[in-house]
Amino acid sequence: MKKKKRKLNSRGKLIIFLFSFIICSIITYQIFNIYNGNKLKETKKVTKNNIKEIITPKEESLSLVMVGDNLIHDKIYNEAKTNNSYDFTKMYSLVKEEVKNYDLAYYNQETILGGSEIGVSSYPAFNSPYEVGDAMIDAGFNLVSLATNHTLDRGEKAIINSRNYWNTKKDVLAVGSYSSEEERNELRILTKNNITYTLLNYTYGTNGIAIPQGKNYLVNVWPVTGNNPKTDTKYQNYKEQVKKDIEAVRDKVDLLIVAMHWGIEYEYNPNAYQIDMAQYLASLGVNIIIGTHPHVIQPVTWIDNTLVIYSLGNFISAHEVTNLGNRIGLMSTVKITKKDKTIELSNQKNELLYTYYTTGYHNFQVIPFSKMKEEYLENYKDIYNKYKDIVTKLDKNIEVVPAN
């Protein structure tokens, strides 16, 4: 009996041991699963965030609007005259409503702002009051090109006055004409929405007025001295200066814009020089090329990833000509997106503008075609179709905002 009892005890102990082992294993397994499950959730959470950051780089964006020549004839500044000053703000009020929606806003100051102190003047030697700039800044413009064929109209004094005026305007980038070599070579880099940008500016000439010796900084002239860019030695040689200017800033900014005062007046198509310049600038990595000077609009197109606006036409003027084209300008817009240090341009649109005035050159107003009425311009829808075809001549995919 004792032997049998010991046998039963051994078997019982074995059963108890196995049972305990199984219970412990189950409990351990459950604890292990719970622990690892929580760790797995944490790992998945971290991994998901990391993957999201890698797959979707942070995006920043800017919006840009561009208009053409601010050409202040005597009829315009006489209309703006007040008792002791000038007030141009009403002339730009309808455009101001559009410009306020954009981060950056460009225009070309065709006539030098030498100020009333040296006497305002009209064609052929222009000089405009500072209040012109005040009105444009009030309208929201903060990118200005100063190198035009009229920059030297009133000599060095007007340029110095202009430069002193623009240098007092915070967050406004006015380029192309300077008061010293040091100022000319200064890198002007601004930042908006975490995107760095700058503007360079050149003109084809200065109406035969010679730049004072040793003072080429007064205006950036990319000389056009012939009929063929391939055989124009002065033109080809200046490309090295343009390249030097671009290389000095290209790797320091995200967005590089070049404003070109080029082409032939009253011609609706770019000439050989414009095409050659555009191709050269695009090859150097310029993002946007803005053209002015012809006083009429020209096509908008792309050279690879570079946006090229051959001519924005006049923004405002009082040309004494019968050509309606002098009163039709272009307002171009584009979205600029920065993705992991790469700039992409998209949502490019264009809207026609009209310089309206009544008989006797009164009540000047720049009117977007989206706000157009028959009382401002008869048959404006037919006129819209004519000038839309000019804008889209080189690229039928270019968008032109419909007329009202």
Question: Domain segments of the chain: what residues?
Answer: 1-56, 60-400
Q: What is the mean pLDDT of residues 46-57?
A: 51
Residue 98 Cα distances to 105, 203, 307, angstroms:
10, 28, 21
- Could you read off the pLDDT of 300-320 as tens digits, one per residue? 999 999 999 999 999 999 987
CA dist 171 and 259 (Å) reads 18
Helix (H) or strand (E) holding 309: strand 306-309
CA dist 375 and 169 (Å) reads 37
CA dist 203 and 233 (Å) reads 17
The CATH number that domain 60-400 falls under is: 3.60.21.10
Tell me which residue has tokens 């019968």.
322
At a CB cut-off of 8 Å and minimum separation 6, what does 207 contact? 124, 149, 150, 152, 153
Task: Name the least confident of 41-45, 52-56, 99-103, 146-150.
Answer: 41-45
Quote the pLDDT of residue 120: 98
- Could you read off the pLDDT of 321-373 as tens digits, one per residue? 668 999 999 999 999 999 988 999 999 999 999 999 999 999 999 999 999 99
Quote the pLDDT of residue 60: 96
Structure tokens belonging to residue 362? 């009164």
CA dist 256 and 287 (Å) reads 5
* Residue 213 scores a pLDDT above 90: yes
Banded model confidence at residue 185, pLDDT cuts 50, 70, 90:
very high
Q: Rounded to two decimals, what is the model's pTM? A: 0.86
Check: CB of residue 108 under 8 Å from CB of residue 162.
no
Tell me which residue has tokens 């500016």.
201
Banded model confidence at residue 139, pLDDT cuts 50, 70, 90:
very high
Q: In this structure, which amino acid lies at residue 182?
A: E
Q: What is the mean pLDDT of the chain?
A: 91
Residue 157 Cα distances to 3, 154, 162, 317, angstroms:
127, 7, 9, 24
Check: CB of residue 270 under 8 Å from CB of residue 298.
yes
Quote the pLDDT of residue 200: 99
* Residue 84 scores a pLDDT above 80: yes
Output b/e per residue, 74-95; b: 16+ Cβ within 10 A. Answer: ebbbebbeeeeebebeebbebb
Helix (H) or strand (E) holding 30: helix 2-55
Quote the pLDDT of residue 42: 42
Q: What angle do CA 128, 131, 132 make, to 5 degrees?
A: 60
More confident residue, 21 or 38: 21
Check: CB of residue 340 under 8 Å from CB of residue 57.
yes
* Residue 34 scores a pLDDT above 50: no
End-to-end CA gap in the chain: 114
Instruction: Give the number of other Cβ atoms within 10 Å of residue 305's Cβ.
Output: 12
Quote the pLDDT of residue 15: 53
Residues in the chain: 404
CA dist 89 and 327 (Å) reads 19
Q: What is the mean pLDDT of residues 200-208?
A: 98
Quote the pLDDT of residue 29: 55
CA dist 383 and 393 (Å) reads 16
Banded model confidence at residue 58, pLDDT cuts 50, 70, 90:
confident
* Residue 32 scores a pLDDT above 50: no
At a CB cut-off of 8 Å and minimum separation 6, what does 114 contact? 127, 128, 154, 157, 158, 159, 161, 162
Q: What angle do CA 202, 320, 92 make, to 5 degrees?
A: 65
Q: What is the mean pLDDT of residues 214-240?
A: 98
* Residue 52 scores a pLDDT above 60: no
Closest to 313 (Cα-Cα) out of 305, 303, 302, 323: 323
Quote the pLDDT of residue 1: 40
Q: What is the mean pLDDT of residues 375-382?
A: 96
Q: Point out which residues pair with 258 in neighbouring strands.
A: 200, 289
* Residue 16 scores a pLDDT above 60: no
Quote the pLDDT of residue 68: 98
